[in-house]
Amino acid sequence: MSDVPATFTQVHLTTVPFLPEIRLYQADEPVGLWELIGGGYSSDRPPPFWAFAWPGGQGLARYVLDHPDTVNGRRVLDLASGSGLVAIAAAMAGAAATRAVDVDADAVRAIGLNADANGVAVEAVWGDILDGAPLDGAAGDAEVVLVGDAFYSKAMADRVLAYLRRAARNGARVLVGDPDRAFLPHRLFRMLHAYDVPTRPSLEDVRVKHTAIWELSGRPDQ
C-alpha cells in the first residue's frame, strides 16, 4: 500500500480468527502503531483502534453472520465502526444498505479498504454523530444500529447509551457486542447470545474473552 498514512505501513490483510469469512487490514501488535502517534491520545488523533479486531466487534459480527435475519433487507448503521468489521458482516448477511461511522479519518479509510477486500459495499462516514439526531444526517435512516466495544469508559458509554436510546425510540433495533466491559448498563439490555472470542494478550491480557451480544430492550427511556 503506497501513499497512505504512516499507521497503514504496519498493517496487512489477514483473516479474522473468529470470522474466517472476513479479512481485515490488521496490525500484528499494538506497540508500533501506538508509537507512530506518540504513544498518547488526543481527540483529533485517536489511537488506531481500527487496526485490531476487538472481541465485542468480533462477537457481534459472528452473531450477524449466524443470524442473517437480524439485518437481511434492512438499513444498518455500524456505530464507532473502527475497522468496519461489523458493517462488513452486515453487508455479507444481506443488509439492504450498510453505513459505518467513526471519528477517526484513518478508520474511515480502513473501512473502505476492508470492504473492498471482502467484496461488499459499505458507506464509510467520518464524524462524531453521538450528540445528533440518531437517524438523521450521517446516521441515515437505519433500521438496525450495531455497536461493538463502545462501553470501555464511562464518558464514552454515557454518550453511546444516550444515542442508542434515541435510536430505539425512533424504532431502530439496537444490538451491542460487549466483552464484559465495566460500563455497559446490563439492566437496560437482554442477552441474545454469548461467545468465547480469541483475543490477543497484548490487547486484553487474556487469550479468550467471553463476549455477549445484547439487545436494548424494554423502555429505551428508562
Domain-embedded: residue 37: no
* 74 pLDDT tier (thresholds 50, 70, 90): very high
Residue 203 has pLDDT above 90, yes or no: no
Domain-embedded: residue 204: yes
Domain-embedded: residue 22: no
pLDDT for 209 equals 93
Please name the amino acid found at residue 133: A
Total number of domains in the chain? 1
**For residue range 104-159, what is the model confidence (pLDDT) as tens digits?**
999 999 999 999 999 999 999 999 999 876 655 555 689 999 999 999 899 999 99
Domain-embedded: residue 132: yes
Give all strands of the β-sheet with 97-102 in edge-to-edge order. Answer: 123-126, 97-102, 75-79, 144-148, 173-178, 208-216, 189-198
Please name the amino acid found at residue 44: D
When pLDDT is averaged across residues 57-69 and rounded to a whole number, the result is 98
Domain CATH number, residue 201: 3.40.50.150
Domain-embedded: residue 67: yes
Domain interval for residue 161? 53-216
Element (H, E) at 204: helix 201-204
**For residue range 9-55, what is the model confidence (pLDDT) as tens digits?**
678 899 999 999 999 998 876 655 555 445 444 445 556 889 889 99
Q: Which residues are CB-contacts of 182 (< 8 A; sequence separation ≥ 6)? A: 151
